[in-house]
Every structure is written in C-alpha cells, then in structure tokens.
Structure 1
Amino acid sequence: MDMDEYQRLALRTAAPHDKPNVLFDLLLGLVGETGEIAEKAKKIIRDQDSDFSRWDTEDLKKELGDVLWYLAVLADHFGLPLEDVAKHNITKLADRRQRGVIGGSGDDR
C-alpha cells in the first residue's frame, strides 16, 4: 500500500471538512494519540528500567496507526497528498544529512 492509497482509505472514516471544529478535532486527536505513545514510553522508563525491548510492539503498531490516520486526514484537510508530505520530509532530511546538520536544531537548518 502506498501513502496516497492509505490516505484515500483513511478518508472513508473521516468527518467532512465542513463539520464544525473538524480541524481542532484533528489537531487534538493527533496530539492525543502521540501523547498515548509517549505515556507508554514513560511507563517503560519508570516501570521497566528503560528496557524498550519489552515494549508491546502490537500495541505500538495500533497506536502508530492512529497517529498515521490523523496525519493523513489532517494533510487532506489542507489538500496535501500524504505521498507529497512523505517525499518532502525525506528530501529535507537528506539535504540536512548532506550538509551535516541532521543533529542540529531549528526548522531552517
């Protein structure tokens, strides 16, 4: 499955663009799902001595899927094909690596 196909399929379960507050719902959903992953990581640090090999990868797969869904629908809200978002990100990171600034800080490095 490619990124645009995923996005197309994800949109079958998304609210219409004109639904009141849909953008806020998408943004908060993305942050919330990302927070769920961070919370589970925190518990591994706290309760399992930072042994990430004990992470339930099936659960992680579900949570990452939820993040991906929100990302795909949010991108569509602004007319951005997910494939374009992914390609742009890889190009940006390759450029940073080539220039030796992959580990720096700031968006425009």
Structure 2
Amino acid sequence: MCYHYPLPLSLNDYQEKARRFAVYPHPSYAVLALGEEAGELQGKFAKAIRKGVEPNIEDIKAELGDVLWNIANIAADNNLTLVEIAEYNLNKLEGRLERGTIVGEGDHR
C-alpha cells in the first residue's frame, strides 16, 4: 500500500509524521540506528561500484529515507526541528564560502 501526502511536504511536516513511528526504548536508539542505516546506504553504493553498475535508485531512496527518519527523530528527541537544522547548516556553509574555507577540515572553519 502506498500512502500519498499532500505536496509540498515540508521538512517539519515530515518530522511530525515520522514521529508516529518512533517506538523505541531510549533516545540513543535513533543515534545508533542512524549509523546502521548510513552503513546500509554505503553498502548499496559499494556493491554497485564493485559490479561496475549504477546503484538501484529505489534501494537508494529507501536507505536515504531510513537515514532521514533517524535524523528527524534524533532532532525531535533533542527539541530541534529539521528546518532549524537545515537553516543552521546552510548558514554555516554560506559563512565558509564567504571566508573561502568551504574545502578543508574542522567544525569551526
């Protein structure tokens, strides 16, 4: 069964809807599950590279969705919205671009 949500689906709408499925015993679950899901995403790309083919887009969509679900719940568990995080991240990147430090290492460039 495929559910269709009204478009456009905002980041905060997604986060609110994703919380319905957040049934886990401890907030650190989503943090640990994020690593697991990111590893599954990496695995899809690694297998495609090994076979010399493009990764299956449906597999990538599914794994990215699992990553997004965990990020949404980690944010909510810490009283943050996805929009807050997205805006913060874009501001950080704009600042790095202005300072000419977009390429480099470290959190505070």
For normalisation by structure 1, the TM-score amounts to: 0.86
Q: CA RMSD in A?
A: 1.3
**Deviation (angstroms), 1:43:** 1.3
Aligned to 1:7: 15
Matches within 5 A, 1:24-35: 24-35=28-39
Matches within 5 A, 1:1-109: 1-15=9-23, 19=25, 22-48=26-52, 51=53, 54-109=54-109
| CA offsets 1:50-94 (integer angstroms, 9 cap, x no match) | x5xx22111101110110000000100000011101110011111
In the alignment of these two chains, the number of paired residues is: 101
Distance in 1, Cα, partners of 2:11 & 2:20: 15
- The residue type paired with residue 56 of structure 1 is N
- The residue type paired with residue 4 of structure 1 is N
Runs of 5+ in structure 1 lacking a partner? none
Distance in 2, Cα, partners of 1:107 & 1:60: 28
- The residue type paired with residue 70 of structure 2 is Y
Runs of 5+ in structure 2 lacking a partner? 1-8
- The residue type paired with residue 19 of structure 2 is L
Which contiguous aligned blocks of 4+ residues in structure 1 show a shift greater than 6 angstroms? none
Could you tell me the percent identity over the aligned residues?
40
Distance in 2, Cα, partners of 1:56 & 1:98: 37
**Deviation (angstroms), 1:6:** 0.6
Higher relative contact order (CA 8 A, sep 6+): 1
For normalisation by structure 2, the TM-score amounts to: 0.86
